[in-house]
Amino acid sequence: MLAYAGGDAAAFEQLYSRHKSALYQFIFHSCNHEATARELYQDVWLRVIKARQNYQSQAPFNAWLYRIARHRLIDHYRQQQRAPLTESHDDNQPFTATLSPLPLQPDEIAHLSERADALQDALMTLPDDQREAVLLRHAAGMSVAEIAGLVDTGAETVKSRLRYAVKKLRSCLREIP
């Protein structure tokens, strides 16, 4: 990003090709609307381009990129008269392994791959903070610490959200015929 801010266009192409797919997954599954996802995705990258001179190398570009994307999603939620990223009621509950159902089996995953809307429908059943944590974890590939730093919360809270989210996702995905 520093190279691009210095005038290297090829650096931006490399940066974009590295992060475009994960970012689009994050945005697409967050808003559950393709046209809106396109608009938000483009707007996020335009903001990155516009704020290129403000980028500081101390922060990882991934965290900076998804912070912009998250703020843009929050603005979108506010425009939609929707409470953005509401907290789940069971954040403070201790996560136990017994609450987590068994992982999905490969045949189940192969079946879900034929149902593109199955994952999206399951994600929409999650609270916003859990869905955000799941998307940052599985779509953006962030670690728990990175997610905690991005959403400005504790790592244990992020873990809790992830475990509850995974439990619900597995249940929802198994219920899909």
Partner 1 sequence: MSRKPHQTQRPDADIDAVFQANQADVPADLDASILRAAQQALSDDLADNPPAQSAAPSSRLPQWFGLAASIALVVMLLPLMLQSPESSLEGTDEFSQASHTAPAPAAPEVIEHRQNPSPGTEQAPTATTANQLTPKANLKSRPLPTAESGWQNNDRLEPLEAMAPSPHSDNAQERLPRPSMDAPAPKAIDPLPQAARVPSSEVAIQPRSRPAGEGVTSVPDGMHRFSHSPTSVEAQMDADASDMASGRLATGGGSGDARLAYRQSAETWIGEIESLTKRGLLTRARQEYAEFRAVHPRYETDFKLPEK
- Binding residues (CB under 8 A) for partner 1: these are 4, 7, 9, 12-13, 16, 18, 20-22, 24-25, 28, 38, 41-42, 45-46, 49-50, 52, 60-63, 100, 103-106, 108-110, 112-113, 116, 118-120, 134, 137-143, 146, 162, 166, 169-170, 173
| DSSP-derived secondary structure for 36-96 | HHHHHHHHHHHHHHHTGGG--TTS-HHHHHHHHHHHHHHHHHHHTT--TTPPPTTSSSPP-
Phi-psi region of 141 (alpha: psi -120 to 50; beta: other; left: phi over 0): left
Beta carbon of residue 83, minimum distance to partner 1 (angstroms, whole number): 25
- The smaller minimum CB distance to partner 1, of residues 62 and 125, is found at 62
Shortest distance in whole angstroms from residue 81 CB to partner 1: 26
User: Nearer to partner 1 by C-beta: 92 or 143?
Assistant: 143
Q: How far is the CB of 49 from partner 1 (least distance, A)?
A: 5
CB of 104 to partner 1, least distance (A): 4
* 26 neighbors 151 (Cβ within 8 angstroms): no
25: Cα separation from own chain's centroid: 7
Phi/psi at 109 (5° precision): -65, -40
**Pick 27 or 85: Cβ nearer partner 1:** 27
**Closest to partner 1 by CB, 104 or 153:** 104
- DSSP three-state, residue 111: helix
**Spatial separation of the C-alpha atoms in residues 154 and 148, rounded to whole Å:** 5
Distance from CA of residue 39 to its chain's centroid? 16
Of the two residues 12 and 77, which places its CB atom closer to partner 1 in the complex? 12
Give min distance, CB of 22 to partner 1, in A.
Answer: 6
